[in-house]
Amino acid sequence: MARDTGLLIVPSKIVIHPSPSMASNSIFLLLFSLLSLLHLHSSAAQSSVKAVYWFPDNEFPASNIDSTLFTHLFCAFADVDPTTYQVTVASQNTNAFSTFTTTVQQKNPSVKTLLSIGGGGSADIKNHFSSMASQPNSRKTFIDSAINLARSYNFHGLDLDWEYLATDTDMTNLGVLLKEWRDAVVAESSNSGKATLLLTAAFYYAPKIESLSYPIDSITTNLDWINAMAYDFYDPAWIQAGLPPKKLVLGFPFYGYAWRLVNADNHGLFAPTNGEGTGSDGVMLYKQIKQFMAQNGAATVFNASIVGGYCYAGTTWIGYDDTQSISTKVSYAKGKGLLGYFAWHVAADDNWVLSQLG
């Protein structure tokens, strides 16, 4: 997740991932292996997860969310103050965040809410996390302020969205941060008599970022689960590295990527392109893709062997996840004993057709 976007696999997946070489050359087909699962215990606090992220600047108010379709809702994003390292909420989001839980529980009193901190799309965010996690005092400030904010806004948990850790030191400090955070929420629960806050994190699609390895032991011990941002890519190595299946929640994209074909008559997989298509940087929400299909009479193709679809009209080619691919992935995750799945993001769906699957 993040303040950016992506796509997922199961059992193999068309992946359209923006890059300079792709924009100037061709549509790429990336096939991915099935997840290989190893043994391990489940998350003691949670039997299954069906979640989605929401953020306030998408012109989709929290009151519009059909919370009956989900077990958990992530409210994104709180910030880390670069000077004090306290977790804060932008002034324009204070009302929406402070009322988020009460708003979504009007339709589903049992839905759990988590405040997501950080997000992608900015080097500053990454640097703020790195600096915060490097010292005991700043970690404590971050942890204490996050817990206080969660309680004051009635969230049931906290979600760390620290993306693209840059050094081995960052990875080591992440492990320490998670341990101290777990200790703090347990102590706070004991002192307050309230249920222990959930702790989750949105991480890279694989357990390594280039040569840097996530602290698997600390993640397994201290987080209730991770949201693997398996949007554009997926690597089964999270499980192979020792993460329990019941600690893994897979990410689904409620959007796709549009590309401009060199030749409208050559519109299959691997067809040459010469740039991004319609949308913002080529990214189109699922509901926008459906609108494009209807308005342009786009032809649609679903390839069962790669569990992915695309559509085309004129020189516009769009790769995306549709109801067939999402439902297959849901069934796969359930069949393999994963904790669940989540989507980025709720406002991108088209009349809840993707959210209703599973």
User: Which positions are catalytic?
Assistant: 163
Give dist(CA 343, CA 320) in Å, integer: 13
Instruction: List all residues 6 or more positions away from 177 whose beta carbon is below 8 Å from its beta carbon.
Output: 133, 139, 142, 143
Strands (E), the chain: 49-54, 72-80, 87-88, 112-118, 157-161, 198-203, 208-209, 212-213, 225-228, 248-253, 255-261, 273-276, 283-285, 299-303, 308-313, 316-320, 340-344
User: 168-192 and 123-133 helices cross at what angle (nearest 10)?
Assistant: 70
Per DSSP, 94 falls in state H
- Cα–Cα distance list, 233 to 29, 59, 77 (Å): 11, 28, 23
Tokens 């193999």 identify what position?
A: 12
Radius of gyration of the chain (CA): 20
Q: Do residues 251 and 344 lie in contact, with contact meaning Cβ atoms separated by under 8 Å?
A: yes
Identity (one letter) of the amino acid at 20?
P
Pairing mode, strands 198-203 and 157-161: parallel
Q: Please report the DSSP string for 194-214 in residue order.
A: SPPPEEEEEE-SSSEETTEEP
Q: Do residues 208 and 243 lie in contact, with contact meaning Cβ atoms separated by under 8 Å?
A: no
